[in-house]
Amino acid sequence: MNASRIFPLLCFIMLIWLMLSNLLNNPGVQNLLPETNRELPNFSLPVYGKEGAFLSSQDLKGKVSLVHYFATWCGICVQEQPSIAQLSKQLSLPVYGIAWRNETTDISKWLKTSTSPYTTIALDPMGRASIQFGIDGVPQTFLIDKRGHIRFVYKGMLNEDKKRDVLIPLIEKLRNES
Protein backbone atom coordinates (compact mmCIF):
# COMPACT_ATOMS: atom_id res chain seq x y z
CA MET A 1 0.00 0.00 0.00
CA ASN A 2 1.25 3.43 -0.79
CA ALA A 3 1.11 6.47 1.51
CA SER A 4 -1.71 8.14 -0.44
CA ARG A 5 -4.07 5.29 0.56
CA ILE A 6 -2.87 4.88 4.14
CA PHE A 7 -3.11 8.54 5.16
CA PRO A 8 -6.93 8.93 4.68
CA LEU A 9 -7.50 5.62 6.47
CA LEU A 10 -5.36 6.72 9.43
CA CYS A 11 -7.20 10.07 9.59
CA PHE A 12 -10.56 8.28 9.62
CA ILE A 13 -9.44 5.88 12.38
CA MET A 14 -8.12 8.79 14.48
CA LEU A 15 -11.40 10.69 14.05
CA ILE A 16 -13.44 7.68 15.20
CA TRP A 17 -11.07 7.13 18.13
CA LEU A 18 -11.38 10.78 19.22
CA MET A 19 -15.17 10.70 19.04
CA LEU A 20 -15.44 7.46 21.01
CA SER A 21 -12.94 8.51 23.66
CA ASN A 22 -14.81 11.80 24.15
CA LEU A 23 -18.10 9.98 24.61
CA LEU A 24 -16.67 7.38 26.98
CA ASN A 25 -14.63 9.83 29.06
CA ASN A 26 -17.38 12.43 29.51
CA PRO A 27 -20.42 10.60 30.91
CA GLY A 28 -21.69 13.87 32.41
CA VAL A 29 -22.08 15.42 28.99
CA GLN A 30 -25.73 14.82 28.30
CA ASN A 31 -28.43 16.59 26.40
CA LEU A 32 -29.80 18.80 29.13
CA LEU A 33 -32.49 20.90 27.57
CA PRO A 34 -33.36 24.24 29.12
CA GLU A 35 -36.33 24.55 31.42
CA THR A 36 -39.36 24.62 29.19
CA ASN A 37 -42.99 25.45 29.70
CA ARG A 38 -44.79 23.61 26.95
CA GLU A 39 -48.01 21.75 27.37
CA LEU A 40 -47.81 18.01 27.84
CA PRO A 41 -48.83 16.23 24.63
CA ASN A 42 -52.28 14.70 24.62
CA PHE A 43 -51.80 10.93 25.01
CA SER A 44 -53.49 7.83 26.37
CA LEU A 45 -51.49 4.63 26.80
CA PRO A 46 -52.43 1.22 28.20
CA VAL A 47 -51.16 0.52 31.71
CA TYR A 48 -49.10 -2.63 32.22
CA GLY A 49 -50.85 -5.25 34.36
CA LYS A 50 -54.20 -3.43 34.57
CA GLU A 51 -56.62 -4.64 31.93
CA GLY A 52 -58.59 -1.72 30.45
CA ALA A 53 -56.64 0.96 32.40
CA PHE A 54 -54.89 3.83 30.66
CA LEU A 55 -52.40 6.52 31.61
CA SER A 56 -53.27 9.81 29.97
CA SER A 57 -52.02 13.37 29.97
CA GLN A 58 -55.04 14.27 32.12
CA ASP A 59 -53.81 11.91 34.88
CA LEU A 60 -50.66 13.99 35.27
CA LYS A 61 -52.39 17.28 36.04
CA GLY A 62 -52.71 18.54 39.60
CA LYS A 63 -49.37 17.28 40.90
CA VAL A 64 -45.67 17.55 40.13
CA SER A 65 -44.44 14.29 38.61
CA LEU A 66 -41.85 12.71 36.36
CA VAL A 67 -42.46 10.89 33.11
CA HIS A 68 -39.57 8.59 32.36
CA TYR A 69 -39.29 6.95 28.94
CA PHE A 70 -37.30 3.73 29.21
CA ALA A 71 -36.90 0.32 27.59
CA THR A 72 -36.13 -3.05 29.13
CA TRP A 73 -33.55 -3.71 26.42
CA CYS A 74 -31.71 -0.43 27.21
CA GLY A 75 -28.74 -1.08 29.50
CA ILE A 76 -28.46 2.55 30.61
CA CYS A 77 -32.19 2.59 31.47
CA VAL A 78 -31.79 -0.47 33.69
CA GLN A 79 -28.70 1.07 35.37
CA GLU A 80 -30.60 4.30 36.03
CA GLN A 81 -33.66 2.75 37.67
CA PRO A 82 -32.33 2.47 41.26
CA SER A 83 -31.52 6.18 41.11
CA ILE A 84 -35.03 6.93 39.82
CA ALA A 85 -36.52 4.83 42.64
CA GLN A 86 -34.41 6.67 45.22
CA LEU A 87 -35.50 10.07 43.84
CA SER A 88 -39.15 9.02 43.92
CA LYS A 89 -38.89 7.81 47.51
CA GLN A 90 -36.79 10.75 48.75
CA LEU A 91 -39.24 13.34 47.38
CA SER A 92 -42.49 11.31 47.49
CA LEU A 93 -42.62 11.99 43.77
CA PRO A 94 -44.80 9.98 41.41
CA VAL A 95 -42.72 8.64 38.51
CA TYR A 96 -44.62 7.32 35.51
CA GLY A 97 -42.57 4.96 33.39
CA ILE A 98 -43.41 4.68 29.72
CA ALA A 99 -41.96 1.55 28.16
CA TRP A 100 -40.74 2.53 24.72
CA ARG A 101 -40.93 -0.12 22.03
CA ASN A 102 -41.58 -2.87 24.58
CA GLU A 103 -44.38 -5.40 24.62
CA THR A 104 -46.19 -6.68 27.72
CA THR A 105 -44.09 -9.85 27.64
CA ASP A 106 -40.88 -7.77 27.73
CA ILE A 107 -42.08 -5.98 30.88
CA SER A 108 -43.14 -9.26 32.50
CA LYS A 109 -39.69 -10.80 31.90
CA TRP A 110 -37.95 -7.66 33.19
CA LEU A 111 -40.05 -7.57 36.38
CA LYS A 112 -39.04 -11.16 37.21
CA THR A 113 -35.48 -9.95 37.83
CA SER A 114 -35.96 -6.25 38.65
CA THR A 115 -38.01 -4.03 40.92
CA SER A 116 -39.95 -1.31 39.16
CA PRO A 117 -39.21 2.24 40.32
CA TYR A 118 -42.42 3.45 38.71
CA THR A 119 -45.78 4.45 40.15
CA THR A 120 -47.30 3.14 36.93
CA ILE A 121 -45.86 1.61 33.77
CA ALA A 122 -47.58 2.58 30.55
CA LEU A 123 -46.86 0.86 27.25
CA ASP A 124 -45.86 2.62 24.03
CA PRO A 125 -44.90 -0.44 21.97
CA MET A 126 -45.12 1.26 18.57
CA GLY A 127 -43.63 4.55 19.77
CA ARG A 128 -46.64 6.63 18.70
CA ALA A 129 -46.84 8.75 21.86
CA SER A 130 -43.07 9.10 21.86
CA ILE A 131 -43.32 11.10 18.65
CA GLN A 132 -45.50 13.67 20.44
CA PHE A 133 -42.97 13.86 23.28
CA GLY A 134 -40.09 14.24 20.81
CA ILE A 135 -38.35 11.04 21.93
CA ASP A 136 -35.37 10.05 19.82
CA GLY A 137 -33.92 7.50 22.21
CA VAL A 138 -34.07 6.34 25.80
CA PRO A 139 -33.81 7.12 28.61
CA GLN A 140 -35.52 10.51 28.62
CA THR A 141 -36.94 12.25 31.66
CA PHE A 142 -39.69 14.88 31.71
CA LEU A 143 -40.65 16.94 34.76
CA ILE A 144 -44.35 17.81 34.67
CA ASP A 145 -45.81 20.67 36.70
CA LYS A 146 -49.24 20.83 38.34
CA ARG A 147 -50.81 22.39 35.22
CA GLY A 148 -49.62 19.55 33.02
CA HIS A 149 -46.76 21.46 31.41
CA ILE A 150 -43.32 20.02 30.69
CA ARG A 151 -40.85 22.10 32.67
CA PHE A 152 -37.63 20.10 32.30
CA VAL A 153 -36.37 17.56 29.78
CA TYR A 154 -33.26 15.44 30.14
CA LYS A 155 -31.98 13.10 27.45
CA GLY A 156 -29.77 10.28 28.66
CA MET A 157 -28.91 8.87 32.03
CA LEU A 158 -29.79 11.37 34.75
CA ASN A 159 -26.64 11.69 36.84
CA GLU A 160 -26.46 12.61 40.54
CA ASP A 161 -25.09 16.11 39.88
CA LYS A 162 -27.98 17.04 37.59
CA LYS A 163 -30.49 15.60 40.04
CA ARG A 164 -28.98 17.51 42.98
CA ASP A 165 -28.19 20.81 41.24
CA VAL A 166 -31.04 21.14 38.75
CA LEU A 167 -33.89 18.67 39.08
CA ILE A 168 -34.52 18.57 42.85
CA PRO A 169 -34.50 22.39 43.26
CA LEU A 170 -36.87 22.71 40.30
CA ILE A 171 -39.23 20.07 41.76
CA GLU A 172 -39.31 21.98 45.05
CA LYS A 173 -39.93 25.27 43.22
CA LEU A 174 -42.80 23.76 41.20
CA ARG A 175 -44.40 22.23 44.30
CA ASN A 176 -44.58 25.71 45.84
CA GLU A 177 -46.28 27.24 42.78
CA SER A 178 -50.05 27.57 42.95
Confidence tier at 26 by pLDDT (50, 70, 90):
very low
* pLDDT (tens digit per residue) in 86-106: 999 999 999 999 999 998 999
Q: Give the chain's mean pLDDT.
A: 86
| pLDDT on residue 178 | 73
Q: What is the pLDDT of residues 3-23, one digit of tens each?
A: 667 766 765 666 565 554 544
| Residue 153 pLDDT > 80 | yes
106 within 8 A of 121, measured Cβ to Cβ? no
Domains for the chain: give ranges and CATH numbers: 32-176 (3.40.30.10)
Predicted confidence band of residue 122 (pLDDT cuts 50, 70, 90): very high
Grade residue 2 by pLDDT with cuts at 50, 70 and 90: low
pLDDT of residue 159: 87
- Least Cα distance to 68 among 93, 91, 34 occurs for 93
DSSP per-residue codes, 107-176? HHHHHHHS----SEEEEETT-HHHHHHT--SS-EEEEE-TTSEEEEEEES---HHHIIIIIHHHHHHHHH
Using the predicted structure, report yes or no on whether residue 30 has a pLDDT greater than 50: no
